[in-house]
Amino acid sequence: MDISEETIKKGCNELESGEILSDDKIRAPGGGRKKSVEKDPALLSDLETLIEPTSRGDPESPLRWTSKKYSQVGRRTNKKWGIK
């Protein structure tokens, strides 16, 4: 496993600065992967459209069931976003 020299330098600088880092978070604010709905705002409505005809449960509840197989949903979402 390779570690970036820049990452090592940042770590050394943090240690030398004496700054106390928060115990509950490792990443800096805004760090990490962005949520899929932030990248594609239409994602939730597209998924809703895809599973709506076969979904069961309370439409107001965040928990829904569908009779579609995971592979069926995957194929259709991959086709929409051009993933092979």
- With cut-offs at 50, 70 and 90, classify the pLDDT of residue 84: low
pLDDT, one tens digit per residue, over 18-71 is 876 666 666 677 777 888 888 888 888 888 888 888 888 887 887 878 888 888
Q: Would you put residue 69 in left (φ > 0), alpha (ψ -120 to 50) or beta?
A: beta
Residue pointed to by tokens 């899929």: 36
Q: Is residue 6 over pLDDT 80?
A: yes
